[in-house]
Amino acid sequence: MSLYSVLNPPTYREDVVSFGLEEWRGKTMKAYLYRLVFASTIYNIWRNRNALRHNNNLCIEEKLIQCIRWEVRIRFATKVSAANIGYNLLDKL
């Protein structure tokens, strides 16, 4: 996996699918991190949509990104502490 793919994620649906097939497979910490970021992003967007629809609460973009980062850091830290590797990946979030 190149540093370019980490700093420049895909933007179109077809690119996301091909990127996912290449980078998200396996049991490496980087693959786990990609899957975790993707799942957290989808979940938090969905949760924000429901809050807007049912309660008329709109979350600003910065707050949404902060929630995603917090959730990924917590979940990844617990995974890393169990495995005792990969702490340098947390610094990039």
Question: In terms of pLDDT, which residue wins out, 89 or 63?
Answer: 63
Indicate if the alpha-carbon torsion angle 32, 34, 39, 41 is positive or negative: positive
Please say if the pLDDT value at position 48 is more than 60.
yes
Where are the domains positioned within the chain? 3-90
CA-to-CA distance for 23 and 9, rounded, in angstroms? 11
CA-to-CA distance for 84 and 25, rounded, in angstroms? 21
Query: What's the half-sphere exposure (Cβ side, CA atoms, 13 Å) at 17?
Result: 3
64-93 pLDDT tens trace: 889 999 999 888 888 777 665 555 555 555
6-22 pLDDT tens trace: 556 656 666 666 766 67
